[in-house]
Structure 1
Amino acid sequence: MLIARSLAFVGLLSAPLVSAALFPAKTEVKMIDGKGFNKVMSQNVTSVVAFVAPWCGYCQRMAPEYSKAAEALAPMVPLYAVDCDQDSNKRLCSEQGVQGFPTVKLYPRGGRSKPLSFDSGERTATNFFYWATRNIPHAIRRLDSVSEISGWTNEHAVKPRALLLSTSKDTPLMWKALGNKYKDTISFGILQDKSGKQAVKLGAEDSPTKDSKVLIYPPGSQKFIRFEGTLKYKQLNKYLGSVADGTVELPKQQERTDSSTMTPETSKSSEVVVGDATPLESTTALTSILASPVPSPHAFNAGGTEAPPDRREADATISVGGDATSSTSSSVPDATAAKGPDMEEGVLTEHTRDEL
């Protein structure tokens, strides 16, 4: 009798322990339950949720790759997991249409948007990474020259406007994530400034410097405020949050000036140094993960639906696109890897660190 009770007690503990052990130690993947899921859905951010079962062989093989993708995407796109084998989570998994394991879904704007199912059989870090970054909704305006800034700021004069002078020709992942989170309250733009000459022309610098810069235009004003904090997600998110809710002190509406003709003297008078510039540690770069081929475009079909295999027969019915051992190998390419037809050049070097 004592042995039976001991075994029952061990059984009660085993489920959460197995679930926790599904992902590597110190993973960026966060296990959530129904309450945690509702909290995630209440946020206007793009997130990914994997619905798993600890006994599922495909879940076990996917876990290291999913964890690698979480490292590269955090904190801009958080990755979560739900253990559908726990009784308390079965209702949530049923409501989310989970019929086989693993089921991975992306929620573009939390509960405000329809989720997208990950339909590629190749559950690799590469596929998870590009699938997530390509499905972040945002309304970032790409500007081709300083002369276009005035028109853009006039068009959205009723709201604050955030302009990134970027050293890259591509839109960084962080800027996409912020553009999505605050798209209802702040207008976002981006202008390539690899040499730093555009910043000089605007009056943001006395001489060209090869670093990205963020300029904030208060509502109704054509004069910008230079964000002087560290260009990392946590600081920018905190600052833009205060801009969005009006708690940051911005200059009152001023007489509009054509931004394309602003001089260093006039623009410097409107610059404000934002404090709390303590650097933060960046997340592990995707380039630290071993190289493998970039997936073909058909692997990112977000509009389809997964076939509904029987719950306990998922391992035998879901295709992983090859040898079962192939998914355990590292799968994220370095910055020199070949690109797919619609892949942004340099995406890895720009998107895999927590800074602009």
Structure 2
Amino acid sequence: MAPEYSKASEALSPMVPLYAVDCDQDSNKRLCSEQGVQGFPTIKLYPRGGKSKSIGFEGGERIANNFFHWTSRNIPHDVKKLDNGADVITWTDSHSAKPQAVLLSSAKTIPLMWKALGNKYKDSIDFAILYDKSGKAAVKLGLEDEPNKDSKVLISPAGSSELVRYEGRLKYAPLDKHLKSVADGTAKFPESKQAINDDHSDAQSSGNTAQVVVDPSNVSTPNIPTEEEPTSPPLSPPSSTQPLMATEAEPTEVPPPVEPEDTGNILEAPHASAATESSTVSDGKAGVHTKDEL
């Protein structure tokens, strides 16, 4: 099972860290006993902060795909699902006390990365998602001249209902960095649409990130086709999660351990190597996996 756990660790990184604990090691026996570990391996999901109970693995066969989807389903989040382009404007108008972040996505389900970010910043930023398969909502919001299926992230600062398009890379690290600045109030937002257009032109010539203000004047009627999303299982823990695997001493299948950093005897699960990356989980099928991108 260890190679499968390693593949899942690769797929979930950096959004959800996976760890391994050797329950036969004397220094870990008390911890494993307190957590009710009676057999090996034992997989549990732990909310950060210790305010919620752990969740035992109930994802079927212990393979990378199942580890990944079980973890993704159980990440707590408060991401609001919007129905159409008009709802984007209405929602931001009614949530201006805090910054807002809206994802326009062609995916019918909430991406793992958006769940993880929504969970991380749930106390400081309101998150929403609009299923925009055709890209028509982006056109109505003034983001595009022609429909396309590319994902788009819109940010609105606290105290304002004006949406600004995030023009950086839609990967976890840069988005996390930008949202952190939005949450702490250090993010810079344009003062006007004209200023944004000028900045966007300058950024295109210089290679810098620009932001584009959304024009809500074209958004009048919810004339955007939508599809029902399948309902995810109940999300019980109130904060971010990290799976933990209890293992026997010196398991023969476990890859060389990663050197821990301020974690005592709890080791971070080794990531899959480049040689195994092609078999990492991807929407339940084999193939190259890039889940840290929208």
| Residues 180 and 98 of structure 1, relative CA distance in 2, 3 Å threshold | same
Q: What's the CA shift for 1:110? A: 4.5
Q: What's the CA shift for 1:251? A: 5.6
TM-score between both structures, scaled by the size of structure 2:
0.66
Which of 18, 25, 39 is the matching residue for 1:86?
Answer: 25
Q: State the one-letter code of the partner of 2:68.
A: F
Per the alignment, in what secondary structure is the counterpart of residue 195 of structure 1?
coil
Structure ranking higher in strand proportion? 2
| Residues 250 and 112 of structure 1, relative CA distance in 2, 3 Å threshold | farther
> 1:17 — aligned with what?
none
Q: What's the CA shift for 1:171? A: 1.2
Is 1:201 paired with 2:143?
Answer: no
Q: State the one-letter code of the partner of 2:176.
A: N
Q: State the one-letter code of the partner of 1:151.
A: T
Query: Relative contact order, CA 8 A, sep 6+: which one is greater?
Result: 2
> 1:217 — aligned with what?
156
> 1:354 — aligned with what?
292
> 2:68 — aligned with what?
129
Give the aligned CA root-mean-square deviation in angstroms.
3.6
> 2:180 — aligned with what?
241
Task: Give the alignment of 1:93-132 within 5 angstroms.
Answer: 93-119=32-58, 122-132=61-71
Per the alignment, in what secondary structure is the counterpart of residue 21 of structure 2?
strand
| Residues 87 and 335 of structure 1, relative CA distance in 2, 3 Å threshold | closer
Task: Give the alignment of 1:170-319 within 5 angstroms.
Answer: 170-250=109-189
Q: What's the CA shift for 1:95? A: 2.9
Answer whether contact 1:173 1:351 (CA < 8 A) is retained: no
Q: What's the CA shift for 1:97? A: 2.6
Answer whether contact 2:101 2:153 (CA < 8 A) is retained: yes
| Distance in 2 (alpha carbons) for counterparts of 1:349 and 1:213 | 25
Q: What's the CA shift for 1:199? A: 1.3
Q: What's the CA shift for 1:238? A: 1.2
| Distance in 1 (alpha carbons) for counterparts of 2:22 and 2:291 | 29
Q: State the one-letter code of the partner of 2:69.
A: Y
| Distance in 1 (alpha carbons) for counterparts of 2:173 and 2:77 | 19
Q: State the one-letter code of the partner of 1:353.
A: K
> 1:342 — aligned with what?
none
Write the deviation string for residues 262-301 of structure 1: whole angstroms up to 9, x where unpaired: xxx6795698779876xxxxxxxxxxxxxxxxxxxxxx99
> 2:274 — aligned with what?
none
| Residues 157 and 335 of structure 1, relative CA distance in 2, 3 Å threshold | closer
Q: What's the CA shift for 1:112? A: 3.3
Answer whether contact 1:215 1:225 (CA < 8 A) is retained: yes
| Distance in 2 (alpha carbons) for counterparts of 1:190 and 1:81 | 34
| Distance in 2 (alpha carbons) for counterparts of 1:216 and 1:349 | 32
Q: What's the CA shift for 1:206? A: 3.3
| Residues 222 and 269 of structure 1, relative CA distance in 2, 3 Å threshold | farther
Task: Give the alignment of 1:322-337 within 5 angstroms.
Answer: none
Q: State the one-letter code of the partner of 2:56.
A: S
Q: What's the CA shift for 1:336? A: 7.8
Which is higher, the Rg of structure 1 or of structure 2? 1
| Distance in 1 (alpha carbons) for counterparts of 2:116 and 2:28 | 28
TM-score between both structures, scaled by the size of structure 1:
0.55
Unaligned runs of 5+ in 2: 210-232, 237-247, 250-277
> 2:78 — aligned with what?
139
> 2:101 — aligned with what?
162
| Distance in 2 (alpha carbons) for counterparts of 1:83 and 1:181 | 28
Q: What's the CA shift for 1:233? A: 0.6
| Distance in 1 (alpha carbons) for counterparts of 2:84 and 2:288 | 21
**Identity of matched residues, %:** 61
Q: State the one-letter code of the partner of 1:89.
A: N
Unaligned runs of 5+ in 1: 1-61, 255-264, 278-299, 304-310, 313-329, 338-347
| Distance in 1 (alpha carbons) for counterparts of 2:156 and 2:141 | 13
| Distance in 1 (alpha carbons) for counterparts of 2:97 and 2:288 | 31
| Residues 115 and 352 of structure 1, relative CA distance in 2, 3 Å threshold | farther
Size of the alignment, in residue pairs? 228
| Distance in 1 (alpha carbons) for counterparts of 2:288 and 2:90 | 28
| Residues 351 and 120 of structure 1, relative CA distance in 2, 3 Å threshold | same
Q: State the one-letter code of the partner of 1:354.
A: D
Task: Give the alignment of 1:46-85 within 5 angstroms.
Answer: 62-85=1-24
| Distance in 2 (alpha carbons) for counterparts of 1:148 and 1:214 | 15
Moved more, 151-160 or 242-251: 242-251
